[in-house]
A and B are shown apart, each in its own frame.
Chain A
Amino acid sequence: MRRSTAAAVGTLTGAALIVGVRLSVQPPAAPVAAPPAVDLAGGTPAPKPSASGNKSGKSPAKTQAPKTGLKDGVFKGKGATNPYGTVQVSIRIENGEITGADATYPTTADSATINPPAVAALKQETLGAKTAKDVAAVSGATYTSKSYAESLQAALDAAKA
C-alpha cells in the first residue's frame, strides 16, 4: 500500500517537472514554417495591464524600468545568410517583454525546395535577332565609354545629331 502511493507521487512529480521544463524553453511565438512576412510595427499592440487599480501611486510598475532591460519598440536583427538565403528576424517589445517575433525567409529559387515558388517561372521562347530599325533607344549592358561608342545607341545618337 505505501509503496504504490510513493510510486504515484513520484510519477506526478516527474510529470510536473517535465511540464515546467517545456514551458521554460518555449520560445515566444517561434515561427515553425515559412510564414508570410509580417510587419510587426503595424500590428495591434497587446492589451497593456490596466493602471486603474494603482491610483495610490504605490505601484512602481509604470515608472520603473523593466527588469529585463529591454526597450519597447520593434527591433530588426542583422540579416543572417545561410546556404538558402538571408533570414532576418524582428521582435516586438512591450513593457520590457517580447510580445511578438517574426522572420523573413529567403525567396530565391535556390531555396525553392524549401519555400515553394509563388508563381511560375518566366516562359521560354525563341531568342530573336532583329535589326534595330524603328527603335528610339537601346537597352544593353554598356558599362564604359568605349562600349557606348560601339553600341547601337551611339549609332542612333549619331543619326539624330
Chain B
Amino acid sequence: MGTTVSIELTPDRPDDELRALIADVCGWLHEVDARFSTYKADSEVCRFRRKEITHADLSPDMRHVLDACADLWRDTDGYFDAYATGPLDPSGYVKGWSVEVASARLLAKGSNSHYINAGGDIRMRGHHPDGGPWRVGIRHPWEADKVSWVLALTDGAVATSGTYERGDHVVNPRTGKPAQGLRSVTVVGPDLALADAYATAALAMGEPGIAWLAKRALDGYDSAVVTDDGRAFSSANLPAAV
C-alpha cells in the first residue's frame, strides 16, 4: 500500500508471543496488499478492473469493500469516490478497513491494549503501557515537528487527511479540480475506515466540509479542522487531552 505501519502492543505476555502477534498483523496487511493493490497486476482489484472476473466471482472481502465504497459515495454526496480517477480504486477504504480487521484479530488473540498506525491513520484499544489512555498528537499542518491537538483515547480511531502532504493531488471529484479551503482534516470515531473516508471527503469538499463534519458528530465521529488560512475548528466532543 506504499505506506509504513507502526504497531505498539502493551507487553502483557512473553516477548516471543508479542512478536508472533505482530507477525500475524504484518501477514494480514501483506495479504490485503496482494489482493487489493491497484499496482499489482494479479490482484483481485486489477483482475476485476480488466473484467477477468465478474461480480459473481468476487471474494466476500471484495464484496464488502465495494458495498462500503458505494455507501460512502452516497453518504458523502459523491465526495468519496472510488472511481474518482477513472478505474476502480478502493484504496481510500481498504487501508482503514484492513487496520480495523488487524486490530480485531489482535483483540481476538487476547491483546486488548494496542495501537496500529498506518500512514498517520490510527486504530487503538485499551491503554498505554503506563496505564493511561493512548495520547495521540495531530500533526501541525505547517510545522512538521509540532502537534496542533493532543487527543486521549482508549478505544477508537483517528484519521487525518491533509493537503500539506500531497499538495494539489487531492481532487474534488465533483469538479475534477484540486481541493481548496482546508489544509488538514482529522476525524475521530469508532471505525477507522469510515473516519478515514470522512476526512478525505471533507478535505475534498473544502470549507463546506466543516458543516458537513458537524453532522457526523451525531453518529459519533468528531473532528478537528484547519483551514488554508490557519483557522482551527473542532467539534464539541473531540476527546482533547488536557
Contact = CB atoms under 8 A, between A and B. Distances in A.
A85 B162 CA distance: 23
Contacts of B209: 108-109
Given A142-B119, A143-B3, A79 B149 contact: no
B231 A140 contact: no
Given A107-B77, A127-B226, A148-B119, A137 B211 contact: no
A118 B224 CA distance: 19
Contacts of B184: 141
A132 B87 CA distance: 40
A141 B144 CA distance: 11
A144 interface: yes
A139 B212 contact: no
Interface in B189-210: 205, 207-210
Nearest to B217: A119
Given A109-B212, A129-B148, A132-B146, A122 B235 contact: yes
A79 B158 CA distance: 30
A128 B78 CA distance: 32
Contact of B115 (A119, A132, A136, A151): A136
A125 B230 CA distance: 10
Question: What interface size band does chain A fall in?
Answer: 35 or more
A107 B226 contact: no
Given A128-B149, A132-B146, A119 B214 contact: yes
B215 interface: yes
13 contacts: A108-B77, A108-B209, A122-B210, A125-B233, A127-B230, A131-B147, A138-B138, A140-B120, A141-B161, A143-B165, A143-B166, A153-B120, A157-B6
